[in-house]
Structure 1
Amino acid sequence: MSAINYATAFSPKVAESFFKESLTDSATGKDYSFSGAKTVRVFTVDTVPLNNYSRTGANRYGEPVELGDTVQELVMGDDKSFAMTIDKGNQADQMNIKGAARAMKRETEQVVVPYIDKYRFDKWARGAGIVKGLSGAPTKANIVELIFDAGAEMDNRLVPAAGRTLFLPNTYYKLLALSDQFIGVDRLGEKALSKGVVGEVDGMTVKRVPDSYFPADVYFMVKWKGSTVDPVKLQDAKIHKDPPGLSGNLLEGRIYHDAFVIGAKADGIYVAAAASAVTAAPTVTVANNKAAIASATGGAVVRYTLDGSDPRYSDSAKVYSAAVDVHAGDRVRAYACTESGYASAVTDKTV
């Protein structure tokens, strides 16, 4: 049972904890709707390579190739709740400092919002399309260069420049803020500051994040807004006055939400992490119409596809256990991941 602290006539106030507004809401994706459904299947239509046009023959545009697609199934999974009571006797003895409405607001600001932010950061990091393993933590001397490297890598993968947010834990924000290349906050205005924006670098909006919000071994993250879908399907809060069995108030709340990285847009998330936490990419060896896949990281699970789809997100991906049959023209793609680490790059080999 939680301790009940009775108030004296000289202490009518509650010392409230500090809280932060959501740091992730402005960067969430809302391109897909989960209304009326727990599962959404996202179809990504493939492309075909260009051919040399022939001025003679039957198939002058090239041999027709059936247009395929990749299916990614997104299943809502995080369903959290809370419940608390405020007994009328305790309320009276504490000079009404535990008002139900204030208690509900306090729970939302200090517990629910931070939880959702931490959840999203973790899901985004573990589903990122670009994970860069760094041999050491960023320093004041190289942090700007590392951030520009992230932007260049995303540019090379054709990620739109508009809509990128750089999330920096406080430890590394300090290093960036001391750099001459950093653009200050003056021109962004107070409204932006209240949402965690502290400046701009390489065209990216910069948000500083409490160190405790970030996943382990992640130094910073760049996210393009449209790379994820982050549904909040149910956000419910109720205050019951004098319910059966209680003289006082019963407060209940529920948040049903999730966060998903869209496979076709996964390169819109760049994660800089400790090299020791990034799983080594698997090797693919083909001999006698068999493909053997191996990971250099102990305990890593390897998933693969043979249809050319990205095994990190495709419904056709399978867990590797033994050499698989392959045929000429098959495209073997595989990646590895550990339970606590971050996914490897995808190894791609055409038979």
Structure 2
Amino acid sequence: MTIIIALLLFSLIVFIHELGHFLLAKRAGVTIHEFAIGMGPKIFSIKKDVEYSIRLLPLGGFVSMEGEDGESNDPNSFGKKSMLQRASILFAGPFFNIILTVILLVPVIIYIGTPMPTFDKVMPNSPAQKAGIVVGDTVKSVNGEEVKSWEQLVNTVHSSNGKELKLEIDREGKTQSVNLTPVKNEEGAYQIGIVPVKERDYLGAIPKAFKMTGDMTVQMITFFGQLITGTVPGGVGNSVAGPIGVLGIVSDAAKMGIFNLINIAAVISLNLGILNLLPIPALDGGRLAMIGLEAIRGGKKLDPNKEGMIHLAGFALLMAFMLFVTYKDITRLF
């Protein structure tokens, strides 16, 4: 059952990506032949103005546009559109994945809750307990500086270097002062031994989802840089996953609950979006790079057939890499 859930989830993420391309291509008036989810032989299709199909292998999808990988005399072909229109069509797929990431993270953040500088638990024999802090106390200031968030309190404690701190706390509407000295935990970070109350912040979850998406994007770009330079900790083969590995990850997340599954879906969606923006032939980023080169050349296009061959070669390399990571996935299973 979890494998079916994983396949449906991955197909949904691919669908959103291809929907971005499809909607912008429709808006630009491009002739579209097929909107497909999956690769390989068709297992279902319906023909209207466009053929909508589901294919056997759930490894991706595509929007087949007239004149995308070759010359065409159709005035509504992809190649006949302006640079801005073509760039917007290509960028739309990854952009839709990034927006999907934000949307998926919002309910996850709401479910997890936002930690507040109010204490839900005080650890036995901790500096907080010895100072007389009790459950329900709220930190108002540390060393005279107002505390506005749990993150600020944690950073203040971590940067104390074990020096005594003066806390102003609110206890049932009354302000009290306590002095305590943070101690190091097993990881070497300073702490005072408290667990925060977590509140459901419905409005605050939206900007936090954008921030989390931005932070993950930076991490992914850093990883892709390490991947290209061969400096990935643990080696390339052990740091990437192919379709089998992704299905395994999603299946494990499904067993742990719906919000774990949604969180993994957000990470996969962002990975798909950022990966497709890399300037690699056959990917959206590679095609965007070609449009950028066209702009530098003053609007002079590369020969469409030659460009198509470049993307075909890039696709072959990507498939070879996919086979490699799939092989690593299989070896990890055994």
- What range describes the TM-score normalised by the shorter chain of this pair? under 0.3
TM-score using structure 1 length: 0.20
Between structures 1 and 2, the one with greater strand share: 1
TM-score, length basis structure 2 = 0.21
